[in-house]
Amino acid sequence: MSGAEDEYEDRRISEELLRRERRDRIKVKDADDYKVVEGVLDSRTLMVLYSLMKSGHLASLSGVVKSGKEARVYLGKAASGGDLAVKIYYAVASKFKRRIMYLEGDPRFEGIKRGPHALAELWARREFMNLKQARDAGVRVPAPVAVRGNVLLMEFIGEGGRPAPLLAESEVDRGDYDALLRYIRGLWRDAAIVHADLSEYNVFKWRGELVLFDFGSSVDARHPLALDLLRRDVETVNRFFASRGIDVADAEEVLREVLGRCRPPPGPALAAPSWSGYPGTG
C-alpha cells in the first residue's frame, strides 16, 4: 500500500471507530479511564478491542493496571461480570529485541512475518499459547481466555481491580520454593516450555498459592537455548529464596532433577541459532 493509501485507510478506520464508538460506546468507568484508553491505543488496537466486545469476550475496559516496556495491562470486565486482565502489546519493533531472539529457534513459529504490528500480534499469540500449554500441564497460571491481534485476555489474578501481590512483595517459605520448583519441572516435562523470564516479579502469591505469569518470553523446550534459559530461571529463583533466608538446593542439582531423563529435550534437533549470545551475555 502507498503512503497515501495508508493514510486513507487510517482515516477510514478512525471514522469507523468514531461511528461505532457513538453507537456502542466503549464502556469505560470514568472520564479519566477514557482518556487513558483513548490516549495510548492506536486505531488498530481499538478495532481489535471492539471486535472482542462484539464477539462477547469483553464487556468493558477500564484503567491501566500496569504499563511495561513491551505491553500494557488493563483491567477489563467479561460478559459474565468477572474481571479480566487485558494485555496489549505495543507495536514497537525496537523494544522487542530480546523477544525476537527467543523467537528464532522456536519451531512453533517458523516462517513468521516481521514488522512491528505482526510482531506485537505474535507476542500476544505466543503468550496465549504458552499459558495454554502451562495450564494444560497443571501449572497454575492466569487462565487464557482469548487472543486477537495484539490483545490477550486472561483471568485477572487479584481482587477489586487490584492485582495480587507479587512474590517479591510477599512473605515466603520453604513450601513456596518447593512449589515453584515443581512448577518449573511441570513446565519442562509436561508443557515442554521454559518460562525464560522467571523471577519474583512474574509470580503472584495469591491466597497462599503461587501463580506464574508473563509468559511472553517463554520458549519451546526444543529451543537451542532452552537449557541455558532454564538454568537462568532456576538461578534467579534460588537467588531470591536465598535472599529470604531459605536454604536453597544447588542449582545444578535442581536442574538435574527437573530434567530427569528428559534430556535432551523432546522433539527434533534444531539448527544452531543464527545469532550469538542471549540476554545477559550481550
Ligand X SMILES: Nc1ncnc2c1ncn2[C@@H]1O[C@H](COP(=O)(O)OP(=O)(O)O)[C@@H](O)[C@H]1O
Minimum CB distance to ligand X, residue 203 (Å): 10
Nearer to ligand X, 26 or 211 (CB): 211
Out of ligand X, Mg ion, none, what residue 212 binds, judged by CB under 5 to 8 A for its kind, is none
Binding residue for ligand X, selected from 26, 49, 157, 226, defined by CB under 6 A: 157
Cβ-closest residue to ligand X? Answer: 68
Nearer to ligand X, 85 or 194 (CB): 85
Contact 77, 58 (CB under 8 A): yes
Three cell numbers written together for 159: 481482587
Binding residue for ligand X, selected from 76, 142, 144, 149, defined by CB under 6 A: 142
Residues in the interface with ligand X (CB under 6 A) total: 18
Diameter over CA atoms, the chain: 63
Q: What are the helix (H) ranges across the chain?
A: 3-24, 31-40, 43-54, 97-103, 116-136, 174-186, 226-243, 251-259
Nearer to Mg ion, 60 or 218 (CB): 218
According to the binding rule CB under 6 A, does residue 161 interact with ligand X? no
Helix 251-259 with 226-243: angle, nearest 10 deg: 130
Please list the active-site residues.
Answer: 197, 214
Out of ligand X, Mg ion, none, what residue 71 binds, judged by CB under 5 to 8 A for its kind, is ligand X
- Please state, as a whole number, how many other Cβ atoms lie within 10 Å of the Cβ of residue 87: 28
Contact 217, 224 (CB under 8 A): no
Q: Which amino acid is at 281?
A: T
Out of ligand X, Mg ion, none, what residue 181 binds, judged by CB under 5 to 8 A for its kind, is none
The half-sphere exposure of 44 on its side-chain side, counting CA atoms within 13 A, is: 17
Footprint on residues 39-98 left by ligand X (CB under 6 A)? 65-66, 68, 70-71, 73, 85
Minimum CB distance to ligand X, residue 156 (Å): 4
Beta bridge partners of 154: 85, 144
Three cell numbers written together for 259: 530434567
Percentages of the chain per state (helix, strand, coil), in multiples of 5: 45, 15, 40
Nearer to ligand X, 144 or 265 (CB): 144
**Binding segment (CB under 6 A) for ligand X, from list 44-52, 129-137, 152-160, 185-193:** 152-160
Nearer to ligand X, 57 or 222 (CB): 57
What is the DSSP secondary structure assignment for residue 164, as one 8-state letter? Answer: P
3-state secondary structure of 67: strand
Query: What is the contact surface with ligand X in residues (CB under 6 A)?
Result: 65-66, 68, 70-71, 73, 85, 142, 154-158, 163, 202, 213-214, 216
Query: What is the contact surface with Mg ion in residues (CB under 5 A)?
Result: 202, 214
